[in-house]
Structure 1
Amino acid sequence: MDLVLTATPPTETPSSIEDIEENFSLLDDWDDRYRYVIELGRKLAPMTEADRGDVNKVQGCTSQVWLAVRTEGSGEAAVLSFSGDSDAHIVRGLVAILLAMVSGRTAKAILAADPIALFERLGLREHLTPQRSNGFRSMVDRIRRDAEAAAR
């Protein structure tokens, strides 16, 4: 089965993590997967300029990465919704994958999730530079800190 990648407007509904995993399984070579990751990044809704400030900048990333969180409720049942962006196409795609896994979930579910295992299952670690892999870990750490803060 061939997967056709087309440019899509950034307002499109983000893919679910299940859809992303299924699409990765259909793509045989890294070039196709790489293009798919970039395509996922193009689907991210744009962040506001206010959200692209220093307070939301993720430390430990080679590229510039911003993650903003909105929290509804409190404790482990608090629901966290994230938005994100990067100045690098591939990293923006990694942000999209990560947000598909955690955004709109409870603090408890986010803390129980294992984005690093997903990163490895998708074969991303073996095909990206160590700096990109470390940047992904920095994004995961930031999201975990946000979930821990909301869970208190």
Structure 2
Amino acid sequence: MIIAEIQEEIVDEFSMFDDWMQRYEYMIELGKSLPLIDEPYKTEDNIIKGCQSKVWVHAELDNDKLVFTADSDAIITKGIIAILIRAFSNQKPQDIIDANTDFIDEIGLKEHLSPTRANGLVSMIKQLKLYAVAYQTQLN
């Protein structure tokens, strides 16, 4: 499935909820299904800078597609990274680089996060795209 289709699915899922408490609960549920990072990758090098909580992300190339795993010490943050990984994992690096992130605004996520969490969200997106750039460079 291409990134835009996955993002549209996520927008549709979030639109089913009437209020933000339900959406937060859904994000927490998504966080529980996050492909967890292996313990050896829970290092300082894999921590996303700019997040108030600790968020570890690991990326590796598998058949020319980038596969992300992650974890966080905060349940909401874990849900946020789970949404991003769902959209971008198992995709070609160039597709990740080219993808827009408007779906974040469409579900209203940024406006319902505290300023520090919103900054963390931006840092997470930036880091996933940086991994994509690094791996795309290797492929060229």
Asked if 1 retains the 8 angstrom alpha-carbon contact of 2:50 and 2:119, the reply is yes
Q: Does 1:127 align with 2:117?
A: no
- Structure with the bigger RCO (C-alpha within 8 Å, sep 6+) is 2
Q: Matches of 1:96 and 1:51 in 2, distance apart? A: 17
Tell me the amino acid that sits aligned with residue 120 of structure 2. G
TM-score, structure 1 normalization: 0.82
Aligned residues: 132
Structure 1: segments with no counterpart, 5+ residues: 1-15
Report percent identity of matched pairs: 37
Q: Does 1:67 align with 2:86?
A: no
Runs of 4+ in 1 over 6 A off after TM superposition: none
TM-score, structure 2 normalization: 0.88
Q: Matches of 2:100 and 2:85 in 1, distance apart? A: 13
Q: CA RMSD in A?
A: 1.3
The 5-angstrom pairing of residues 2-151 of structure 1 reads 17-72=7-62, 78-115=64-101, 117-151=102-136
How many angstroms does 1:17 deviate by?
A: 4.1
Tell me the amino acid that sits aligned with residue 139 of structure 1. M
Structure 2: segments with no counterpart, 5+ residues: 1-5
Between Structure 1 and Structure 2, the one with more helix by share is 2
Tell me the amino acid that sits aligned with residue 92 of structure 1. K
Q: Matches of 2:109 and 2:18 in 1, distance apart? A: 13
